[in-house]
Chains A and B, each alone.
Chain A
């Protein structure tokens, strides 16, 4: 596989998302931290105490050595000899015991903080995703979105809780020990200062450098998942063309590319760790080299030197911890980048600041010279004007790609016209709040989708406020009452994934019934293209006939019977209305409509058209 091909597999991912710098990400995370600031303050206080108690350990140890070796009097007022050692040991026990108690409380507190922040994030992400436009979902299949809401937020959990704690602890400990060392032996500490600075600078450089590898490795992994999914979903084609070897070769290439990146990332990561191991020993050697002379001269006790060495070990521990957590932090930041990438997305059609709730539709919806382009170049709609008067039903017919679906998208306000306008009782649709407008619509999408849940939940779309009577009325309206009654559990009948325990016709009826739970002011129906058996088709048609009578509706129609029942037919092609009128009128005219109708709706084996 060429480098181009590899890059192509990676390049397309998430192009619409804005990239965030680490600083921006921290800024975006801040409000989540702010929400739990009480708990965080408490955690901070606990942390400071734990660090303080941690520093007491080496100090007490030094005292024990000084008392035990009787090298010089201890700085604490303890008796000399054996009793002094016992008193110091008891102090040490007390400090350690308290430190563990506090540490446990801190762990408990932070695990709660991490979990609750992640849960908030999951909720925000879910809400955001549901508010995005249809074209977003074309680029983000459900699997990918679930990964964002589940795995990515989980990677952040550690960053919120244990990792954050460790990082904070590491930095505070670092500072505190440094101060202690200065107090203990300023000269040696200052000699060590350049080494510590070098370590600081290299950490910053390293963190930035390695991050890019982890990001790339993750993208390769996504490509691997994508390839496997694609080949397994297309297994019949793979089998039919004996294409397995090629599929395996392609996967192998991406796997190798990922492995190469990961090896680099790990190598750098652990070299860094090794470098620190060396620095720790090297600085200890410097301290011993410098301290030995002072010990010989009697200006420094062995106990103090040991304490100094122990503090030195502790100074490195936080930095080692940092490098240990670096991959976790990297992963956390990568995940945060992806999460806030989505959270920063905005719908293309936000409500205007002065938008008002849509009043109930009373007169008509008008398309006035509406133009629209998806890419800013080719126009999908080129000046379309028509009216949907209240009580009338309008059918849209025409070849695929002609602009029918775009018209529906504009009416639902998933998009706004590039020029011209859509009015509702004379008011520009853009001045109305989007959700309040949609709430008046009964939209039946072309694709029938049923949720795992009960029949009732599927009709109401999880609206617990909808009463059983309301739901049954909606079912009755679409002649789906017997569908409910024929099942022992009625509306509580559980539906398996994608409604596989209903026939296609029944699924279509459920989908249709949804639109009637709320008595919509305007029915927008994108008729399913896949036909069903004549009996079900007849049933659906009867329901539609009844439903359309006197109702305001815009229908993308695929059945001749549906079209006949409509008050006006608009033949849409190449973004324009090329013919309009009633069925008989257009049939008689013998134009594009008639040609289409003859082809598409010709009888099959004595059918009913």
Chain B
């Protein structure tokens, strides 16, 4: 299921970098036509940036001639118009970042869509390994924002390209204007490199420290907010605030260190750049006096030098942000590689199921990691039989139901329908014959109708019957919009009891041959539950039922009871 760990290249190695570049290339595939636009715009943007000081230099030179009485005012007027043209070009080129941002968003949308698809296609083993919170972070915050995947794949790369080309062009023009002065201007560059290497190590360490501190805070917040009832009941608010204050005091140190390192980093860079500028002003000024350099060239040179700073700071930034983005890519790749078996789950065969006659389980074993939950479990269920599964929590009742629904993969033992092993059967034909209601009610942010039909062909009569059996007809009629009432995220808009009954209606809508109910009738009060069973059993006397319950009355209503013990040994 998971890919062999040995194949993973070491972070920072060439093969690692190649892997990441390949990942990015794949990510770029749907947007390849935009690459040329981006490259072109990079060139235009760099060109426009470069043209400005050059034109300015000429203007200045003309002004000097003017003051010396060598030029006509008409020539200056022409230059002014050229300057305005450059201004217009600059305004247009400024849209380049907007275009980059648009591509960022495209990559963001496509990557999330693709990986959401990958994740939804994963099988049970995958969801045992990754918790939903972790998956959500990987599909949202790892992709969106600075300097995450969406930003890095386009803006990160093309900003660096733009900066690189600006640096190269600026240097080229500077060399053309005055090779000697360029040599002076470049004196601080080795120093800049050394400063970057020196500070980088400290920065990386500070970033790690800060991350650790912030994850400690998050853990504390999660514990406090999740257990807020206990906190308030135990009047523990103050104590938790004190604990947070202690943690934050430690974090403050780490945060300040990090922020100050950034300040140092940027000041050093700017400082060294200014040293270059000073050398240029000093030496260049003297050369102008000696007639070795024209005033216009000198001023253009000075402006070009100023243009170098931003891009030069961008270039090392590519590595810093790249590192962060690569970690996010790793996390997405991990999802892709893990559990290649896919969402078919237990039913991965091709044989369609025509009619469910018998369900049998022999020597079933299942463990969550090291913790065995079911061992040697055996049961047999014939068409129309009703079985209650009872026993303490931790005995494996829910696990059994999930295994029978094909939502978990058995490690050992035989699970068969009509004598055919699960693995040989076609998933779609099996699942449409099973009405499976998990313990926690799952509703989606769509209409009541869609929550019941779940994309199956809609039949108003069946919808009405399913709602009636679940005791929801009147309540749904009272919703604003009735069946078209939209639920919010997390099932907002319906009460707790209604939530569970909606999921029951969903299972009944498919007129299943096997009903797997995991302790869900608790949402019905005793009278409603009576009503529910009477109606279900009179409507479909042939339905096979396996119900996990803690309610004695429910258990006694079934034909047989299977008591599971924590060791997992039980026989029907």
Which one of A103, A134, A243, A462 has the greatest number of beta carbons of chain B within 10 Å? Answer: A462
Are A65's CB and B90's CB within 8 A? no
Chain B 479-515: CB-based contact to A (< 8 A → 1; otherwise 0): 0000000101110100101000001001000000000
Chain B 206-221: CB-based contact to A (< 8 A → 1; otherwise 0): 0000000010011101
Are A115's CB and B237's CB within 8 A? no
Min CB distance, A545 to chain B, in Å? 20
Q: Inside 8 A of A450's CB, which chain B residues have their CB? A: 227
Instruction: Tell me if A235 counts as interface (CB < 8 A to partner B).
Output: yes
Instruction: Tell me if B568 counts as interface (CB < 8 A to partner A).
Output: no
Are A226's CB and B490's CB within 8 A? yes
Are B116's CB and A266's CB within 8 A? no
Instruction: Tell me if B244 counts as interface (CB < 8 A to partner A).
Output: yes
Pick from A266, A270, A600: contact of B552, CB below 8 A.
Answer: A600
Q: Inside 8 A of B221's CB, which chain A residues have their CB? A: 126, 142, 145-146, 149-150
Q: Inside 8 A of B456's CB, which chain A residues have their CB? A: 241
Q: Nearest B residue to A246 by beta-carbon distance?
A: B455
Instruction: Tell me if B460 counts as interface (CB < 8 A to partner A).
Output: no
- Known contacts A85-B285, A242-B455; A278 and B391 CB within 8 A of each other: no
Stretch at the interface among A185-193, A295-303, A379-387: A295-303
Instruction: Tell me if A69 counts as interface (CB < 8 A to partner B).
Output: yes
Instruction: Tell me if A112 counts as interface (CB < 8 A to partner B).
Output: yes
Tell me the bound Cα distance from A355 to B503 in angstroms.
47
- Known contacts A237-B442, A248-B117; A461 and B225 CB within 8 A of each other: no
Interface hits, A102-149 → B, CB 8 Å: 103-104, 107-108, 111-112, 114-116, 119, 122-123, 126-127, 129-131, 134, 137, 139, 141-143, 145-146, 149
- Known contacts A127-B237, A274-B92, A302-B63; A240 and B405 CB within 8 A of each other: yes
Are B244's CB and A123's CB within 8 A? yes
Are B235's CB and A438's CB within 8 A? yes
Are A296's CB and B241's CB within 8 A? no
- Known contacts A104-B267, A461-B234; A292 and B120 CB within 8 A of each other: no
Instruction: Tell me if A352 counts as interface (CB < 8 A to partner B).
Output: no
Tell me the bound Cα distance from A382 to B237 in angstroms.
33
Are A250's CB and B139's CB within 8 A? no
Instruction: Tell me if A78 counts as interface (CB < 8 A to partner B).
Output: no
Instruction: Tell me if A263 counts as interface (CB < 8 A to partner B).
Output: yes
Q: Nearest B residue to A60 by beta-carbon distance?
A: B281
Tell me the bound Cα distance from A324 to B244 in angstroms.
35
Are A104's CB and B263's CB within 8 A? yes
Pick from B88, B117, B133, B233: contact of A412, CB below 8 A.
Answer: B233
Q: Inside 8 A of B248's CB, which chain A residues have their CB? A: 119, 122-123
Stretch at the interface among A19-27, A29-37, A203-211, A529-537: A529-537
Q: Inside 8 A of B59's CB, which chain A residues have their CB? A: 288
Are B343's CB and A244's CB within 8 A? yes
Tell me the bound Cα distance from A239 to B219 in angstroms.
31
Pick from A100, A145, A236: contact of B402, CB below 8 A.
Answer: A236
Are B63's CB and A292's CB within 8 A? yes
Tell me the bound Cα distance from A465 to B117 in angstroms.
51
Q: Nearest A residue to B221 by beta-carbon distance?
A: A146
Q: Inside 8 A of B98's CB, which chain A residues have their CB? A: 266-267, 269-271
Stretch at the interface among A40-48, A176-184, A252-260, A478-486: A252-260
Pick from B66, B431, B445, B561: contact of A296, CB below 8 A.
Answer: B66
Stretch at the interface among B17-25, B75-83, B174-182, B463-471: B75-83
Instruction: Tell me if B444 counts as interface (CB < 8 A to partner A).
Output: yes
> Helix, strand, loop or mixed for chain A's interface?
helix
- Known contacts A68-B285, A282-B87, A531-B550; A150 and B236 CB within 8 A of each other: no
Are B486's CB and A604's CB within 8 A? no
Are B392's CB and A231's CB within 8 A? no
Stretch at the interface among B100-108, B156-164, B351-359: B100-108
Min CB distance, A131 to chain B, in Å? 7
Instruction: Tell me if B197 counts as interface (CB < 8 A to partner A).
Output: no
> Helix, strand, loop or mixed for chain B's interface?
helix
- Known contacts A9-B445, A141-B490, A292-B66; A602 and B552 CB within 8 A of each other: yes
Instruction: Tell me if A587 counts as interface (CB < 8 A to partner B).
Output: no
Instruction: Tell me if A419 counts as interface (CB < 8 A to partner B).
Output: no
Q: Inside 8 A of B81's CB, which chain A residues have their CB? A: 285
Are A234's CB and B552's CB within 8 A? no
Chain B 46-60: CB-based contact to A (< 8 A → 1; otherwise 0): 000000100010011
Interface size class of A (residues with CB under 8 A): 35 or more
Are A274's CB and B90's CB within 8 A? yes
Instruction: Tell me if B538 counts as interface (CB < 8 A to partner A).
Output: no
Instruction: Tell me if A366 counts as interface (CB < 8 A to partner B).
Output: no
Chain A 271-286: CB-based contact to B (< 8 A → 1; otherwise 0): 1011101101110110
Q: Inside 8 A of A296's CB, which chain B residues have their CB? A: 66-67, 69, 73
Q: Nearest B residue to A595 by beta-carbon distance?
A: B526
Instruction: Tell me if A344 counts as interface (CB < 8 A to partner B).
Output: no
Q: Inside 8 A of A445's CB, which chain B residues have their CB? A: 229-230, 233
- Known contacts A285-B83, A285-B87; A89 and B109 CB within 8 A of each other: no
Are A64's CB and B285's CB within 8 A? yes
Tell me the bound Cα distance from A340 to B228 in angstroms.
21
Stretch at the interface among A217-225, A356-364, A561-569: A217-225
Q: Inside 8 A of B266's CB, which chain A residues have their CB? A: 107
Stretch at the interface among B31-39, B254-262, B374-382, B413-421: B254-262
Q: Inside 8 A of A145's CB, which chain B residues have their CB? A: 221, 225
Instruction: Tell me if B2 counts as interface (CB < 8 A to partner A).
Output: no
Are B117's CB and A244's CB within 8 A? yes
Are B88's CB and A278's CB within 8 A? yes
- Known contacts A235-B120, A296-B66; A126 and B244 CB within 8 A of each other: yes
Pick from B225, B552, B566: contact of A603, CB below 8 A.
Answer: B552
Q: Nearest B residue to A108 by beta-carbon distance?
A: B260
Instruction: Tell me if A487 counts as interface (CB < 8 A to partner B).
Output: no
Are A236's CB and B286's CB within 8 A? no
Interface hits, A50-82 → B, CB 8 Å: 61, 64-65, 68-69, 71, 81-82
Are A449's CB and B267's CB within 8 A? no
Chain B 141-154: CB-based contact to A (< 8 A → 1; otherwise 0): 00010000000000
Are B224's CB and A82's CB within 8 A? no
Q: Inside 8 A of A69's CB, which chain B residues have their CB? A: 64, 288, 295
Are B237's CB and A130's CB within 8 A? yes
Interface hits, B402-452 → A, CB 8 Å: 402, 405, 407, 428, 431, 434, 436, 438, 442-446
Are B101's CB and A266's CB within 8 A? yes
- Known contacts A134-B229, A255-B113; A277 and B94 CB within 8 A of each other: yes
Instruction: Tell me if A605 counts as interface (CB < 8 A to partner B).
Output: yes
Min CB distance, B356 to chain A, in Å? 15
Tell me the bound Cα distance from A76 to B279 in angstroms.
21
Tell me the bound Cα distance from A536 to B484 in angstroms.
46
Instruction: Tell me if A585 counts as interface (CB < 8 A to partner B).
Output: no
Instruction: Tell me if A418 counts as interface (CB < 8 A to partner B).
Output: no
Instruction: Tell me if B121 counts as interface (CB < 8 A to partner A).
Output: yes
- Known contacts A123-B241, A248-B120; A143 and B295 CB within 8 A of each other: no
Instruction: Tell me if B539 counts as interface (CB < 8 A to partner A).
Output: no
Instruction: Tell me if B173 counts as interface (CB < 8 A to partner A).
Output: no
Are A463's CB and B237's CB within 8 A? no
Q: Inside 8 A of A438's CB, which chain B residues have their CB? A: 232-233, 235
Stretch at the interface among B185-193, B270-278, B323-331: B270-278
Q: Inside 8 A of B445's CB, which chain A residues have their CB? A: 8-9, 226-227, 230, 250
Tell me the bound Cα distance from A463 to B76 in angstroms.
80
Q: Can you list 23 A-B pairs, Cβ within 8 angstroms, ordered by A? A: A68-B285, A107-B264, A115-B252, A115-B259, A142-B221, A146-B225, A228-B136, A233-B442, A239-B343, A250-B445, A255-B113, A262-B101, A267-B102, A270-B96, A270-B101, A412-B233, A445-B229, A451-B230, A503-B566, A504-B392, A530-B519, A534-B392, A601-B552
Closest 4 A/B residue pairs (Cβ)? A533-B392, A281-B87, A274-B94, A107-B263
**Additional A-B contacts beyond A221-B144, A237-B503, A275-B91 (15; CB < 8 A):** A8-B486, A82-B286, A89-B285, A119-B249, A126-B241, A129-B228, A141-B490, A150-B214, A234-B444, A244-B117, A255-B113, A256-B109, A438-B235, A600-B551, A601-B552
